[in-house]
Structure 1
Amino acid sequence: MAILDVTVERAKIGDGSSESESEAELGLGVRHLCDSGITTLPARYVLPPADRPGNPCSALLPVVDLAALRAGDPCQLAALHAACRDYGFFQLLNHGVPPDVGRAMLDAARRFFFDLPLPARARYMSADIRAAVRYGTSFNQLNDGVLSWRDFLKLLIRDTRRLADVVPFWPDAPEDLRPAAAAYARACQRVFRELMEAALDALGIVRCRGELLEECDGGSQMMMLNCFPACPEPELTLGMPPHSDYGMLTILLQDEVRGLEVSYGEGGGGWAVVEALPGAVVVNVGDHLEILSNGRYRSVLHRVRVNGRRARVSVASLHSLPAERVIGPAAELVDEQRDRPRRYMDTDMAAFLAYLASAEGKHKSFLHSRRINIISSCPD
């Protein structure tokens, strides 16, 4: 995912916390900080006033029924198309992920973060953003000027057809983490495939449809198990700063604690907290799908706020084509003669990783860095 730059502004707070805080201590993550008994937010987590969360409104995202979509309901295909075009987010009902699979995934994630001692989690700690299994904190800890109130466990599946090959490298504690994560990964793969098939139909992509769907079947999947502990001063920080997701589609499984906020309004000036529907997962368009659709679908900035009373756990499953695949606008959606110019440069994983490793605020997001500046009417 691509992160919106935030201006570095150190802030000193009470109880002697200042720039002199140990970077080594901060590098152990926010769960470690909570265990140490802090009552004020370390300075490295304090956002400049303009970037602090404020008071959002509530958002009821569009709803898509996957069972009806699967049955060929044209109204649901239209609903999916409108949600991706106008909002970039929707809640998905009747998605086919068994309730017990979702519960087991969240429960295993919660126990990984809250039941295991730090040495057990730290076995997977790494600053290498390319690592397939990685326990870390913030977003890009080495480059983040202001740290995020978040710990995560990343599980990367480079080829979803070879899931069984990577599961043995995942954490072996808690003991049910591997089977729970594998079952949930398979369920998300099925949902992604069905949604992509419908999205290509809605966009009118025919010529490369078969090739794209075949690549979806052997594409990449990155599961991010996210932990946002209760924060001593939640009004000063964020669990994740504004960002768009790198990939085609992201499927988000959440517990009952609110926190996801979506950008809205002209120029994305406002924030709305998502009110989750029982039994639904949240799905959002990623940078790759916006590029493939030549701007018809929107990869929207979103962020995560934290609170002072309850921890929040979520699992984001980010799906795309194989990492080596170069992605550009579908040829059928580009027509220079009909004022449908190409709006994005081609991209691939190598370009994204290079951006991620060196991003210094040159662009609002990776997606923004791929846009071609043109003057024309809006896309269909």
Structure 2
Amino acid sequence: MSSVSLGDAEGISVLDFGAFLNGSESTKAELAWAMLDSFKRVGFVYLVNHGIPADKVRNMFQWSKRFFDLPSEVKLLAPHPPSGTHHRGYSAPGVEKVVQHIYDEENLKNIRAKAPNVKESFESGWEESKSMPNIWLPDGVLPGFKEACMDFFWTCHETELNILRALCLALGIPEDLLVKYHKAHDNQLRLLHYPSVPVRDLEEDKISRIDAHSDFGSITLLLQDNVGGLEVEDPNKPGHFISAPPIEGALIVNAGDFLMRWSNDLIRSTIHRVRAPPQMKPINGMTPERYFFFFFFLEFLAVVECLPGTYSDDNPPKYEPISASQYVLHRLAASY
């Protein structure tokens, strides 16, 4: 086992990212290559010593629970707009239905009616954004919540940039190349809560948590509680899913569709979903509730082409240059 590897979880590498943040040039390179290898094999990697302080993670989980414990009518004082292209504010259970590459409105309507995603969410981003302004609760409703979200947003952003620097090192390109495409802060902090629901309804597909999908941005950071339920499609067995269990103190990072395109398909954007936790112990036939949060990003104004080093005469670029906004906005619209 290498000095940066802490093992694996169902084939997903578990790595000590502290080797990149604080290590020698050789250990930085070793970590970067190991991370890229996991992205190439399965599209996911676990990182410990990732730079997000444990107390901030605990604090954000506490704030998330305080928010979702509010009465529905209070949470709806910060409503998510009907448009799927403005991902800010609160969405109630059953409103969203994640789908994969389905854009016909009638098909979307039928699919969403069949088995709604029983989750609720709150989304926020860069406070100064003109294109996607935040939608907060009225002043005085939950004092400190906005400030906690914004503090955590910027902490995650710094970790994002360090992960991108490591990826550049592994690809043999300047370490700031990807960073410069993520300076407009078109990022999203998404708090998620899965209420306790009847186990039978999940097993009989009357309801779902998050259906199988790939992310559409560059990379996603995921912090989950210890309940579990995240599953990743086995790259070697399409349609077969493996558990991505919670690991104490670990950050899960996965590549999105845009990074796969950006890397000329060198990096995988892997289908994943959230189901009932494995080996769960229902109480009176009900699942335990679950909390986690995402932080994911893409620079809407960036126009990108396949990265240097990901193509050659024998493996030419597969994609034409494209703007992130052109690529992403139709995906956003179909995800709500």
> TM-score normalised by the shorter chain: which range applies?
0.7 to 0.9
Per the TM alignment, residue 151 of structure 1 is displaced from its structure 2 partner at its CA by: 1.4
Q: Which has the higher helix share?
A: 1
2:158 matches 1:214: no
Tell me how far apart the structure 2 counterparts of residues 168 and 241 of structure 1 sit (CA, whole Å). Answer: 26
Amino acid at match of 1:297: I
Instruction: Write out aligned runs for 1:85-124 (5 A).
Output: 85-113=40-68, 115-124=69-78
Of all paired residues, the percent bearing the same amino acid is 25
The amino acid of 2:328's aligned partner reads F
Name the counterpart of 1:201.
Answer: 169
Aligned equivalent of 1:277: 247
Determine which of 54, 77, 96 is the counterpart of 1:138.
96
1:333 alignment partner, one of 310, 316, 332: 310
**Structure 1 unaligned residues grouped into runs of 5+:** 1-57, 360-380
Asked if 2 retains the 8 angstrom alpha-carbon contact of 1:203 and 1:293, the reply is: no
The answer to whether the Cα contact below 8 Å between 1:248 and 1:288 also exists between their aligned partners in 2 is: yes
Residues 132 and 157, structure 1, Cα contact 8 Å, conserved in 2: no
Aligned-residue offset at 1:249: 1.1
* Higher mean C-alpha deviation, range 70-79 or range 248-257: 70-79
Partner of residue 144, structure 2: 176
Matches within 5 A, 1:31-180: 59=10, 61-70=12-21, 71=23, 72=25, 73=27, 74-113=29-68, 115-125=69-79, 126-136=81-91, 137-139=95-97, 143-144=108-109, 145-146=111-112, 147-157=116-126, 162=128, 169-171=135-137, 173-180=141-148
CA RMSD across the alignment: 2.6
What residue identity is the alignment partner of 1:59? E
From the superposition, tell whether residues 95 and 65 of structure 1 become closer, same or farther in structure 2 (CA, over 3 Å).
same
Output the amino acid matched with 2:19.
A
1:316 aligns with 2:291: no
Deviation at 1:100, TM superposition (A): 1.2
- 8 Å contact kept, 1:262–1:303: yes
- One-letter code of the match for 2:44? F
Stretches (4+) displaced over 4 A: 166-169
Q: Which runs of 5+ in 2 are unaligned?
A: 1-8, 100-104, 278-285
Cα drift, residue 259 of structure 1? 1.1
- TM-score (normalizing by structure 2): 0.79
Number of aligned residue pairs: give it.
292
Match of 1:314, SS? strand
User: What secondary structure, in the 3-state scheme, does the structure 1 residue paired with 2:70 have?
Assistant: coil
Q: 1:351 to 1:290 in 2, by over 3 A?
A: closer
Q: Normalising to structure 1: TM-score of the pair? A: 0.70
Alpha-carbon distance in 1 for matches of 2:221, 2:334: 27
Q: Once the 2 structures are TM-superposed, how far is the Cα of residue 167 of structure 1 from its aligned partner?
A: 9.2
Taking a change above 3 Å as real, the CA distance of residues 156 and 132 of structure 1, as seen in their structure-2 partners, is farther
**Partners of 1:132 and 1:309 in 2: how far apart?**
28
Q: Deviations over 1:26-56 (max 9, x none)?
A: xxxxxxxxxxxxxxxxxxxxxxxxxxxxxxx
Residue 92 of structure 1 aligns to a residue in which SS? Answer: strand
2:154 pairs with 1:186:
yes
Contact 2:223 2:251 in 1 (8 A): yes
Secondary structure of the residue that 2:303 maps to in structure 1? coil
Task: Name the structure 1 match of 2:259.
Answer: 289
Q: Indicate which of 326, 331, 336 corresponds to 1:350.
A: 326
